[in-house]
Structure 1
């Protein structure tokens, strides 16, 4: 009886923990782990609900050899009506003592940083987000992936 209950509870836990309500969670590979100014990954999100608030995260992966404690990114957004916006975002990646804030270890560290909280999109349709590295070094070495996550708030 105990084995059945433990297995049943384990299956329920796995089912619940694997449920992801994200509208989008995407990582795009950076060729050669060197993010050039001209390499501007695009992420497309189709928004169907203007009432639902969303949290927006910036996804960033790097190797342990990444030289900086942060990264600056220009987030360009094209709305369904064609209007464009751009904002500069700083992602902290390490503590002052050099320990990485992201998850992982070994060959890759993953950061998923909340950049906008409770955002309501003004219109339904296709939104295009373009990520551009905004550091002094070009190319920015040891960056493996960049991306975004958009999830409904609860």
Structure 2
């Protein structure tokens, strides 16, 4: 009986420790992802985030999080990033996210048929003021809807 309990408790304890370590990221301001319904990302489906910045004197790194299936047919992904916030002029920037090399090998990490990417787009960035910022990510490829995009997200962390 004690051995059976031990077989249950040890894996549960290990899982708890791993989850606690993963959540213990003191530099993370936000790391949110949004699932794309049916893996079909249309132009009209802008993925929105509203991070709160408490320390405008700190430098931040900003990343796109993207997950695609192995059936995604391109080596890149063009997105438009709409931004606005306190003491900041609203704007739109176009970014090309490289997902595969010239030989077609995925540049992200893979699990099963899903490939995850964390792609930096601003490093050592200073937000102009304290407050809530607005980010909207829009796909900007020729296909509408863009197929085989599983998740899209935004990560903001304090620069080390």
TM-score range, shorter chain: 0.7 to 0.9
1:103-143 CA distances to partner (integer Å, 9 max, x unpaired)?
A: 11322110000110000000111001000000011100000
Residue 121 of structure 1 corresponds to which residue in structure 2?
127
How far apart in 2 are the matches of 1:108 and 1:15?
21
Q: Deviations over 1:32-78 (max 9, x none)?
A: 10000000010110011110000000000000000000000000001
In 2, Cα distance between the equivalents of 1:137 and 1:110?
21
Tell me the residue number matched to 2:158.
152
> 1:131 is matched with which residue: 132, 137, 151?
137
Q: How large is the Cα RMSD of the aligned pairs?
A: 1.9
Q: 1:15 to 1:65 in 2, by over 3 A?
A: closer
Q: Aligned partners of 1:27 and 1:37: how far apart in 2? A: 18
Kindly indicate whether residue 85 of structure 2 is the aligned counterpart of residue 72 of structure 1.
no
Name which of 89, 100, 103 aligns with 2:95. Answer: 89
- The equivalent of 1:98 in structure 2 is 104
Does 2:117 match 1:107? no
Give me the whole-angstrom Cα distance separating, in 2, the residues matched to 1:152 and 1:127: 15
Match 1:28 to one of 20, 29, 34: 34
Q: What number of residue pairs does the alignment pair up?
A: 143
Distance 2:106 2:19 in 1: 31
